[in-house]
Chain A
Amino acid sequence: MLTIVEKVIFLQDVEEFEYATTEDLAHIATITDEVTFKPAAIIYREGEVSDSMYMVIEGSVRLDRSGEEVLTAKHKDVFGTWALFDDAPRMLTATALEETRLLRIEREDFYDILADHMKITEGILKSITKRWRALAGRVGSDPAAGTP
């Protein structure tokens, strides 16, 4: 089992939390669960109600849509992130490819943390804004998009 500090060290590399302070990461670490999946175990299925996000501590996870592989998540990769922000059904199926250890954050717990720590919310909003800007920049530079 990881200690809180080890979880913090792990969470430092999660893009969504890049603006959080180490102490805020410790608050997030307190709501994470360590879960283990055997090879070929289904973590979640496409179309299921989404409620958690996952980070790979050890092992690897295959993400596919209707049987077609989209990507493989490995050590430190994060998947199912949008579950933290809305409850739309899962778009992909996640399957453990080997004995896999994951850190899981449930949406309900995450919201509780956000309510108590405004700075974490600010950091996440900053991170999302950064991604939007990057996306807008890419769209803007694409002549096919028809924007100047």
Chain B
Amino acid sequence: MMKKLLRNLFDIREDEGLRVALMFSYIFFIIASLLIIKPVRQSLFLIEMGISQLPIVYTMMAVFSGLVTVVYLRFARNVRLDLLIIYTLLISILSLAFFWILLYLDYHAGWFFYAFYIWVAIFGVITTSQFWLLANYVFDAREAKRLFGFIGAGAISGGIFGGYLTTYLATVIGTENLIFICMAFLLGCVVIAGKVWEKSAKINYQDRMLQQKRLRQSEAEANPLTLILNSRHLSYLAGIVGISVLVATLVDFQYSAIASRLIEDEDKLTEFFGFWLSTLSIISLVIQLSITSRVLKSFGVGASLFFLPIGILIGAIAIIFNPALWSGISLKVSEGGFKQSIQKAGVELLTLPIPPDIKNRAKAFIDVFVVNFARGVGGILLIIVVVVMGLSVGYVSLVMIGLIAFWIYLNSLIRNEYVNSFRLALEKRSIDLDKQTLNLDDASVFESLIRALESDNEKQILYVLDLIENVKNDRFVPQFEKLIHHPSAEVKVKVFRIVSAYKDVDFIFEASELVEDSDQEVRVEAMRHLSQHSLDKKATMTKFLDHPDFGVRSAALMCVAIESKEDENFREDEEMVKIVKDMIEEALAFGDGESERSSASINVARVIGTANNPALYPHLETLLRDMVPEVRRVAVISAGKTRSEQFVPILIENLNTKLIRRHAREALANYGEEIIDTLVERLNDKDEDRNIRIGTAKVLALIGSQKTVDLLLESLPHSDLILRYEIIKALNKLKVKFPLLDFDEGVTEERILEETRNYIQMLYILDNQDEYVQISGDVDSDHDAAARAGKAKKLLTRALEERLDTNLERIFRLLGLRYPPKDMFNAYQGITSNLTVLRANAIEFLDNVLDSNLKNVIIPIVEAKSNTSMIQDMKKQLELEISAQDGCFDLILTGDDNWLKVCALYSIAELQKPECTSRIELQLQSQDPVVKQTAEYAIRRLNRNGSSRN
């Protein structure tokens, strides 16, 4: 019952209930505590310090807020969000306890009241911004558009509750003790934030951290001030925001001055501020619900911007004539009431046509610098007028009137700029669909959208349809009626999908015709539309499943699959399942030609993936072994959607099938954690096909689980060269994509040291090869044989050098698991660069960053590539046992590198080393055909030359 009510009223869906409830409570308690603490600080400051100090604290607040915000933003980038939130809340609770103790001890030093005043301002900004940041990870863009309105109501109700609670309790328990209630609310927030993080935000956070990192990198060069100065639209916007904050500071001063002059008791003053803060929230809400939408619809964004300055103007004039409590309250009501409703909606609309990347940068700059600068200017103006010149509050109104005149002028300028920008944004399609909620209340926005929907440009129509997809508005219905006849299938499909949210709108006539459209997607959507508006869904679908046209029957099959996925009754209807099974059998036997049969099979594969009904799995099993690659490809995708255990072996087999393996990887990754053990088992199976083993490593790279990381790190020492490289690459991907995964430092370090040992061994072979790879006298005297021996030696040297290079790459990839991957990548680029300066910088960087035990082995190998004494030192340090008797051929032929073995065998043959015959014979049993072939060749060469010498 409750669920139904929530769904109907607020469109909260089944799996969203808990998340929404937690976030609603979180913002409720944050805002409630803010609305308790604000009146407390206001009354304490005014009673203890007096009104004359208020301008000074405004100025100080601007300076400190700006500084703290900048420092906070820098710090916040490097700290995980959940820790950031919880630490902030805990620090806030401790700070509040500290403030309470000082108040309890009757501490009256001036700095304390300044600090408390400024602290509350910073607390308000940081905690609310953290909440909305968390909300962005808890909900995806589509959910956010639907649910943020309801969650925002949590903030409003928290505001009303907090303020009225203060009014009620201030005189009962005393102003100071209200701090305890705040602390209790914040403690509740700590618990809620922890729960929300674990349940919903953690996974999304990991994913989006990566995107944000990329975004930050691409944004690194941009200067927001230049962006604002280069755009008239942004300059006016910054001007309007700045001047509104400046005037708000003056309003707050006048209101506080009048209240503190007339109410002298601290608790009564707290009660007064608490009451009016809550009442202002209610007034805002009433204005928002009753006026905002109408104003925007009738007059557009331009007119909405005039309400706040004109409201303040009237209040300011009233104060000039009669500076009584009612005039102070009416000034505050007109400022507070319009600011959070009409003005906020208007300013939000003004930012709509600005491309998102520019908007993000400019908005951050305006929120931090422009707002604090304006507040600081407000404070200085008040110091001049009130403190220096000693004028009364009435004169502050005169200053305000001058500022409002300029504000109104700016409003008139931005109105024209906004319409032009919006037109341009629609043409360029620069409004970000995932980040914007379109407010259609603005008349000019609506007109522009209608014009775009009426255009001949299909791309623009589709773009606008995407924009309005989640904004239900009956005024679009006439456009939908036209667009359902549009020649483009994509447009028709989109219209059907949008209209499905309009319960009273039906296109039954059009849909009846379009069920026979040439496009399969149009047919499916038309049928879904008819089924949505039909009283007997099953009968409607059965009719189409019996249709004489095969195309219509295929679409009906897909439609049933979609419906059964969404509707449990439909899914469990045995009669329907039987019809679908019969239809699938018919489809699989359909058509004489190969292409007809294939397209029918592809449709069936899609249907089974969409319906995900185990009764249909046997057919999918058949399609996974189809002869036609495209059918197998679609079947693989569908098998991934089912996540059924029975498809795992065949999906793994497909890791070795060109054209399909990418889809097989994604399909297997869909299974998530449950498949990790199976994949690791196949990865470590030495009898398994190499391509499948490589494929499993690539699948594991897509499953962001701690278990994957641990098992891959464990597999490394038992894997051969090629697999080691693939496993390390998989670990690198996991590290970058899922930054919260833990890469055990000890294990990672051990793997780095293992690769370093391999490197030193390879370097030793390269450094000593001249001793072993000498051209013998017999060969030297034969010109042709000498040439062949020279080529063989050159090939071996080149292969060894290449191996050193890839070994170094593996070392740096492993370092990227222990240190920031980007830093290690840059260092690797520097080390392998031909430019001496870059190499030197990279070495210097590593010298400063690496831990001493790693530094001791990494720095020497990047400083000198081949150095006998360095090898000797490193052998000791890494406890590497390479005896002088171990010739380079022995080391290679007993290793796991087949290509090096091939080069060594060929060198032995061409350099005529009969003493190596026994070692060559061992390679005749190799599983690798090229090693075996080269060993046979070497034996033949040595035998031929031996017999010719004899």
The answer to whether B903 touches A5 (Cβ under 8 A) is yes
* Interface bin, chain A: 10 to 19
Measured between C-beta atoms, what is the minimum distance from A28 to chain B in Å?
13
User: How far is A30 from B934 in the complex, measured between Cα atoms in Å?
Assistant: 13
Say yes or no for B189: interface residue by CB 8 A criterion. Answer: no
Are A26 and B795 closer than 8 Å at their CB atoms? no
A23 within 8 A of B: yes
Q: A22-B795, A26-B902, A112-B658 are in contact. Are A4 and B930 (CB under 8 A)?
A: yes
Q: Does B473 contact A (CB under 8 A)?
A: no
Contacts of A8 in B (CB 8 A): 795
B802 at the interface (CB under 8 A from A): yes
- Is B906 among interface residues, defined by CB-CB distance under 8 A? yes
**Contact of B658 with A115 in the complex, beta carbons under 8 Å:** yes
CB of B937 closer than 8 Å to a CB of A: yes
The CA-CA distance from A57 to B572 in the complex, in Å, is 70
Asked if A4 and B899 sit within 8 Å, CB to CB, the answer is no
With A22-B795, A112-B658, A115-B658 as contacts: A4 and B802 at CB distance below 8 Å: no
**Contact residues in B for A26 (Cβ distance below 8 Å):** 899, 902, 930
B791 at the interface (CB under 8 A from A): yes
Return the chain B residue nearest A4 by Cβ. Answer: B930
Residues 15-34 (chain A) with a chain B CB within 8 angstroms: 21-23, 26, 30
A125 on interface, CB distance cutoff 8 Å: no
Residues of B with C-beta under 8 A to A49: none
Separation in Å of the A119 CB from the closest CB of chain B? 10
Residue of chain B at shortest CB distance from A5: B906
> Given the interface contacts A8-B795, A9-B795, A112-B658, does A3 sit within 8 Å of B937 by beta carbon?
yes
* B903: chain A residues within 8 A (beta carbon): 5, 22
Q: Which residue of B lies closest to A111 (CB)?
A: B658
Does B486 interact with chain A (Cβ within 8 Å)?
no
**Bound: A30/B928 CA distance, A:** 13
Query: Which residues of the other chain, A, contact B658 by a CB distance below 8 angstroms?
Result: 112, 115-116
Contact A23 B899 (CB under 8 A): yes
Asked if B412 lies at the interface with its beta carbon under 8 angstroms from chain A, I say no
Which residues on the A side are within 8 Å of B906 (C-beta)?
Answer: 3, 5
The reply on B47 being an interface residue by CB < 8 A is no
Given A3-B934, A4-B902, A4-B930, residue A22 in contact with residue B802 (CB < 8 A): yes
- Kindly provide the distance from the CB of B790 to the nearest chain A CB, expressed in whole angstroms: 11
A9 to B903, CA, bound (A): 10
Contact of A22 among B798, B933, B934, B937 (CB under 8 A): B798
Q: Bound state CA distance, A4 and B938, in angstroms?
A: 13
Interface positions, chain B 902-936, Cβ under 8 Å from A, are 902-903, 906, 930, 933-934
Q: For residue A76, give the distance in angstroms from its CB to the closest CB of chain B.
A: 13
> Which chain B residue lies CB-closest to A29?
B930
Q: Please encode chain A, from 20 to 61, with 1 for each CB lying within 8 Å of some chain B CB and 0 for all others.
A: 011100100010000000000000000000000000000000
Question: Which of B691, B798, B934 interacts with A5 by CB under 8 Å?
Answer: B934
Q: Could you tell me which A residues sit within 8 Å of B by CB distance?
A: 3-5, 8-9, 12, 21-23, 26, 30, 112, 115-116
Q: Can you list 5 A-B contacts (CB < 8 A)?
A: A3-B906, A4-B902, A5-B934, A30-B930, A112-B658
Apart from A5-B903, A5-B906, A22-B795, what 20 extra A-B contacts exist at CB < 8 Å?
Answer: A3-B906, A3-B933, A4-B902, A4-B934, A5-B792, A5-B795, A5-B934, A8-B795, A9-B792, A9-B795, A12-B798, A21-B802, A22-B798, A22-B799, A22-B903, A23-B899, A26-B899, A26-B902, A112-B658, A116-B691
